[in-house]
Amino acid sequence: MADSSADTAAPIIPDDFLAILRCVNYDHPRDDGVLRIEGAMLRCAVCGYRYEVDDGIPNMLWDDAIPPDASAAAS
Ligand SMILES: [Zn+2]
């Protein structure tokens, strides 16, 4: 509810939405799969799988998740 005084760009998805999303990887408990914004994607803090976000709608389909060993620049 605060004024938008932040000088950063709006997040790709709202914080309250992000807070309820969880990674769908069955290899770890779902509740552990907290997602964090990484660039234009969401990244699971546990398994590192990434999910694309399109117009504020995260694609949480496991078939579309990007594995952490995909050819991407390591951070
Ligand atoms: Zn995960």
Cα 21 to ligand 1 centre (Å): 11
Q: Is 57 helix (H, G, I), strand (E, B) or coil?
A: strand
- 11 or 32: which carries more pLDDT confidence? 32
pLDDT at 72 over 60: no
pLDDT digit string, tens, across residues 9-26: 778 999 999 999 999 999
Cα 5 to ligand 1 centre (Å): 33
β-sheet bridge partners, residue 37: 42
Cα 29 to ligand 1 centre (Å): 8
- Per the CB < 8 A criterion, the answer to whether 24 and 62 are in contact is yes
* Residues in the 5 Å CB sphere of ion ligand 1: 23, 25, 33, 44, 46-47
Cα 51 to ligand 1 centre (Å): 10
